[in-house]
């Protein structure tokens, strides 16, 4: 395919519409929505494996680079996003582009992540004697392509943002710690903080403002209070 890049690579799709069989230009991080095979052959040659993985954690990041690290975006993809060379959609875009002034706000993010299935191409599709390519002309037509998408992992990511007003900037780090501790207690995510539990919970919960940033999870109405956020969070596994 006219490439100088060889071997397997693993990238984060960040809401981009990758599908097994797509051609991909790794040098420019560009997805080419064309395939060497017809849809019927791709469907027959794709193995779907159910997966079961769920994780939750809390972060207190503000800068774009820190947010990309939270989303586990590495290398050139991170550089392209930071420089504006790559655009993203969905929950990642809402989180990364949130540029509201937070000088008087202590903001904490609770991230929920789950994987539900893996889709992988069968290597028999590359056997020219048995099946072969339906559109071999695309190899020369899209000479910039370096790889074929072999496998995708599908799931969902949901981000809850908890904001707490700060009267004085000097108190921001202390309030941030209290919010992290409180959110961790309420949602069962372990957060280490040396403080009196009950008094901290009561004090912080009363002033929390909640924003739900979505992520492929359909809700009738997004939560705006911590009680509603807890109910949504506990119901997320049934939404996949």
Name the band, by pLDDT with cuts 50, 70 and 90, for residue 120.
very high
Q: How confident is the model at residue 37 (pLDDT cuts 50, 70, 90)?
A: very high
Whole-number average pLDDT of the chain: 75
Please state, in angstroms and as integers, the Cα–Cα distance from residue 81 to each residue in 9, 85, 100, following that order.
18, 6, 19
Please give the residue that has the higher pLDDT: either 181 or 84: 181
Are 108 and 59 in contact by the 8 Å Cβ rule? The answer is yes
The structure's pTM equals 0.65
Rounded Cα distance between 209 and 224, Å, is 6
Q: How far is residue 10's CA from residue 73's CA, in Å, rounded to a whole number?
A: 11
Confidence band (pLDDT; 50, 70, 90) for 48? very high
Above 50 in pLDDT, residue 95?
yes
Token representation of residue 185: 């207690």
> What is the DSSP code string of 121-175?
E-GGGG-TTTT--S-TTHHHHTTT--EE--EEEEEEEEEEEEEEE-SSGGGHHHH
Label residue 4 by pLDDT band (50, 70, 90). very low
| 67 dihedral zone (left: phi>0; alpha: psi -120 to 50; beta) | alpha
């Amino acid at each position: 395919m006219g490439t100088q890049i060889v071997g397997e690579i693993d990238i984060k799709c960040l809401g981009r519409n990758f599908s097994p069989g797509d051609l991909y230009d790794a040098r420019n991080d560009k997805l080419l929505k064309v395939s060497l095979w017809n849809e019927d052959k791709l469907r027959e040659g794709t193995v779907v494996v159910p997966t079961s993985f769920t994780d939750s954690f809390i972060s207190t990041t503000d800068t774009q680079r820190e947010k990309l690290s939270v989303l586990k975006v590495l290398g050139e993809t991170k550089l392209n996003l930071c420089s504006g060379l790559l655009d993203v959609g969905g929950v990642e875009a809402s989180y990364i582009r949130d540029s509201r002034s937070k000088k008087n706000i202590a903001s904490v993010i609770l991230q929920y992540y789950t994987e539900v299935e893996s889709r992988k191409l069968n290597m028999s599709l590359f056997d020219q004697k048995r099946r072969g390519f339906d559109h071999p002309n695309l190899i020369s037509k899209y000479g910039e392509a370096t790889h074929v998408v072999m496998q995708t992992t599908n799931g969902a990511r949901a981000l809850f943002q908890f904001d707490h007003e700060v009267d004085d900037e000097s108190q921001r780090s202390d309030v941030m710690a209290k919010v992290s501790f409180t959110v961790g207690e309420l949602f069962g995510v372990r957060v280490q903080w040396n403080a009196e539990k009950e008094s901290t919970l009561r004090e912080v919960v009363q002033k929390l403002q909640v924003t739900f940033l979505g992520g492929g999870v359909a809700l009738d109405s997004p939560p705006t209070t911590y009680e509603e956020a807890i109910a949504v969070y506990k119901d997320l596994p049934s939404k996949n």
